[in-house]
Chain A
């Protein structure tokens, strides 16, 4: 049984560009949450998707958007990248929104 997978592993972008990160949930899970983890800090909740809709959102600007597909996989899009967007982006899946979360290995985004 594959766990949560994320792609790509690493990404380098330039300020002002746009980026798309991808996540496939653990088999049987229907909910995907995204987190941003800056160096030396705990993960910060970005948003959660369920039934292809954003169900909850953290304190992130509209430059951060997402999508969930019918197969429950998800994408995180970030527009107009800033240097401060450099971080590890983590995806977590769960069965329902308030249940145990399983995390993927993350995507390391570097903005230069």
Chain B
């Protein structure tokens, strides 16, 4: 059974700082890995999707990497802003299902 872990559980940084969120998974037989953002009480917004054959994806200030062999993914956020404050979820896509980590709650202070 796929287990997904996110570290740290919570992170507080000053505005402008670059930061890295970590995601690890136990089964390397994945189809894809997706990073989401969730604001309190809201649904999930997809940030980046990495297919199993890819090593990284970039969108604006966000960069996500994938290392299947070690069971790890990282989400890099450059020049953080207060508007980036949210919970970030990592999800591993398997055969017709998706398994999530518990998320990292990010606070960016002005």
Partner-B contacts on A (CB < 8 A):
33, 35, 40-45, 48, 50, 55-56, 58, 88, 90, 92, 97-106, 108
Partner-A contacts on B (CB < 8 A):
4, 6, 31-32, 34, 36, 41-46, 49, 89, 91, 93-103
A42-B100, A42-B103 known; A100 vs B95 contact (CB < 8 Å): no
- Asked if A103 and B46 make an inter-chain contact with CB atoms under 8 angstroms apart, the answer reads yes
22 CB contacts below 8 A, A to B, read A35-B100, A42-B91, A42-B101, A42-B102, A42-B103, A45-B100, A50-B96, A56-B95, A56-B96, A56-B97, A90-B44, A97-B97, A98-B32, A98-B93, A98-B94, A100-B46, A101-B34, A101-B46, A103-B44, A103-B45, A105-B43, A106-B42
5 shortest interchain CB distances as A-B pairs: A42-B100, A97-B96, A56-B96, A103-B44, A98-B31
- Kindly list chain B residues whose C-beta atoms are within 8 Å of the C-beta of A104: 43
CB distance from B14 to the nearest CB of A (A): 25
CB distance from B51 to the nearest CB of A (A): 9
* Residue ID in chain A nearest B102 by CB atoms: A42
- Kindly list chain A residues whose C-beta atoms are within 8 Å of the C-beta of B43: 90, 103-106
- Asked if A100 and B32 make an inter-chain contact with CB atoms under 8 angstroms apart, the answer reads yes
- Kindly list chain B residues whose C-beta atoms are within 8 Å of the C-beta of A102: 46
- Asked if A44 and B32 make an inter-chain contact with CB atoms under 8 angstroms apart, the answer reads no
- Kindly list chain A residues whose C-beta atoms are within 8 Å of the C-beta of B42: 105-106
- Asked if B46 and A42 make an inter-chain contact with CB atoms under 8 angstroms apart, the answer reads no
- Kindly list chain A residues whose C-beta atoms are within 8 Å of the C-beta of B32: 98-100
- Kindly list chain A residues whose C-beta atoms are within 8 Å of the C-beta of B6: 42
> How many Å lie between the Cα of A43 and that of B31 in the bound state?
18
A101-B46, A103-B43 known; A45 vs B102 contact (CB < 8 Å): no
* Residue ID in chain B nearest A101 by CB atoms: B98
Contact of A33 (CB < 8 Å), options: B4, B34, B49, B98: B98
CB distance from B8 to the nearest CB of A (A): 15
> How many Å lie between the Cα of A45 and that of B93 in the bound state?
11
- Asked if A41 and B36 make an inter-chain contact with CB atoms under 8 angstroms apart, the answer reads no
- Asked if A45 and B46 make an inter-chain contact with CB atoms under 8 angstroms apart, the answer reads no
